[in-house]
Amino acid sequence: MFGYYRLASAVPQLRVADVDHNVDQLMAGFRKAAEQKAAAVVFPELSITGYSCGDLFFQPRLREAALDGLRRFAEATEGSGTIAVVGLPFLHEDALYNTAAVVQSGRVLALVPKTVLPNYREFYEKRQFTSGRELGTGTREATVNGARIPFGTEIVFHDASSFSFSVEICEDLWSVIPPSSRLALQGARAIFNPSAGTELTGKAAYRRELVKQQSGRCLCAYVLSSAGVHESTTDTVFGGHSLIADNGRLAAEGERFGRESTLILADVDVERLAAARLSESSFNDSKSLSPAGNALHLTLPEEVPAAPGLEYAFNPARPFLPSPAHRPERCEEIIAIQTAGLAKRMEHTHARRLVIGISGGLDSTLALLICERACRALKRPASDILAVTMPGFGTTDRTHGNAVTMCRLLGAELREIPISECCLRHFGDIGHDPAERTTTYENVQARERTQILMDLANKTGGLVVGTGDLSEIALGWSTFNGDHMSMYAVNCSIPKTLIRCLIEHIAGESSPELASTLADINNTPVSPELLPPSGDGSIEQRTEDVLGPYDLHDFFLFHFIKYGAEPDKILYLAEHAFRGEFQPDFIRRCLGIFIRRFFCQQFKRSCMPDGPKVGTIALSPRGDWRMPSDACGTVWEKDISHR
């Protein structure tokens, strides 16, 4: 559903050279995978016989039993669209090959031979097997149990939808240029690797990184199943390492050294992989290295099952947030990028001061913290920061107090310039009744504040530091030529959900008083404070009451920009990610707001100021997002209304 397919890696409990027992175990593993609606399941290398048979592979009786076992296994898959990849030795034209059989719905579709044969330390495969490279880049046919089927190294399997895959075997992945690199360029979006890697100290970590890196390099899913502990232990031990990776991310990993059969599953978004290949020019630039004509493109007789849900999917509700395990490191890296960008701009412009408007809200807080870091990096005093608080009609004691406290603790120069009286004069100049709390009432204040900051920068030889974040830029939630404008926008590629995370990280390294202030800022409702407070002095104008939660908008932004997900798919993913938190109808309404605002507010992004990019998603018209200001969002809005 929506391009998701469930992939499986199985490690059965095998016996060396006991084909009947092994096939029984393979059939049991296949049934479990098929019951889970897996699109495909891969078993270990030479799994029908066992990998460690050695010179027994020369015995005709073992090879005959393996072919009969493959026939019996294929019959057991009858009626199922789930693909199975199983391994067996295969004699072809007086040469013995280590092969993987691709099976679907009672049929053996093709045999793929191993290309790179290890011949070192504990592995001596060249003693028994011939490399599939000798077959040439094109494919041949072989007779398997009376049927002529494709036999070759470069085969890309496709179903009628978006699912496509290829196979490489164990050592192929460890080679200088793995076959999977070419196969991915020829259209395979998933790679299955039946493997038999021995366990040595540190080897599992290296194998894991290889699988992750290859899935990232090839923009594909990569599924590996390695032989388990029931292989021969004459000189080595096999651990049964099973791995599923997705575009550089480890999606699932099985526990090694298990005594029972195991099965791991991951729901992988194949459409997302296709979108990544479309936008990553380096992928398509490499296609000349592996012409598509070299591969056989084989259509599957049946469509593989789509994932029935997202039970095994990686679908975080807050995709911009670093994982808890890596959060401190990632936060420091983001802050370092922001700091380096601002410090360079200070040096280049010979800025004597950093001029920043401070409201006591999230965005200006992070921007001020970055200003302090930049001054520190340049060995300049924090007093070079001119922090300006400009209380207006909606300023509350809470935000004003936090702004003042933070500036004092950081050592920035604080200047307070109230704007209410000059705004009232301006209302008179343009003939606006201040009792009318319209957009004009709000934008006059935002532009007055920006004018003050720009003029102070001129007066002091300063640089106006912008505070707006990526979420606001996406939604156009800023006043054109007001808070929309600055001389360098340090938060321009940081979404609102990540702003809170970064402030929390800095708070954890700060003095108790500053940490307490930052915590209160993080807990303050998001507001531009342009409308008067409520009767008790608390914030009346809450941004998320108007737009909807930033948690949702950041989720929409991530999937819309990074992977080009259609509205229907975004809704499906959001309903799953926020199940129990937001109702589906509410999510749909918020997505409608996101789409409408994203399209109609592009004109603000077309002339946005410079700022540092910290992640893969940014909306700069110069380096990241190129969209005409007059583009219509009707096509996307229709998807939402018709759902």
Active site residues: 45, 114, 170
239 with 199: CB under 8 angstroms? yes
Give the whole-angstrom CA distance, residue 312 versus residue 268: 8
Give the whole-angstrom CA distance, residue 136 versus residue 444: 73
* Per-residue burial over 620-631, b = 16 or more CB atoms within 10 Å of its CB, e = otherwise: beeeebeeeeee
Going 279 to 285 to 289 to 292, the CA torsion angle's sign is positive
Written as six digits, the tokens of 308 are 């029935």
Give the whole-angstrom CA distance, residue 40 versus residue 262: 15
Exposed/middle/buried for residue 122 (C-beta within 10 Å: 0-12, 13-18, 19+): exposed
127 with 184: CB under 8 angstroms? no
CA dihedral 622, 626, 629, 630 (to 10 degrees): 160
The residue count of the chain comes to: 643
Strands (DSSP E) contained in 462-513 are 462-466, 488-489
Residue 561, H or E segment: helix 550-563
Phi first, then psi, for residue 193 (nearest 5°) are -130, 100
Strands 140-144, 249-253: pairing is unpaired
CA dihedral 255, 256, 259, 264 (to 10 degrees): 40
Radius of gyration of the chain (CA): 30
Written as six digits, the tokens of 243 are 């791995």
Give the whole-angstrom CA distance, residue 533 versus residue 607: 32
Read off the DSSP letter of residue 176. Answer: S
3 with 162: CB under 8 angstroms? yes
Residue 316, H or E segment: none
Give the whole-angstrom CA distance, residue 245 versus residue 253: 9
Written as six digits, the tokens of 264 are 């791991």
How many other CB atoms are there within 10 angstroms of residue 127's CB atom?
A: 12
590 with 552: CB under 8 angstroms? yes
Written as six digits, the tokens of 236 are 């080595």
Crossing angle (nearest 10°) for helices 634-641 and 567-577: 50
Give the whole-angstrom CA distance, residue 513 versus residue 149: 73
Strands 155-158, 296-299: pairing is parallel
Q: What share of the chain is helix, strand, coil (3-state, %, to 5)?
A: 45, 20, 40
50 with 14: CB under 8 angstroms? yes
Written as six digits, the tokens of 509 are 């390294």
541 with 394: CB under 8 angstroms? yes
51 with 17: CB under 8 angstroms? no
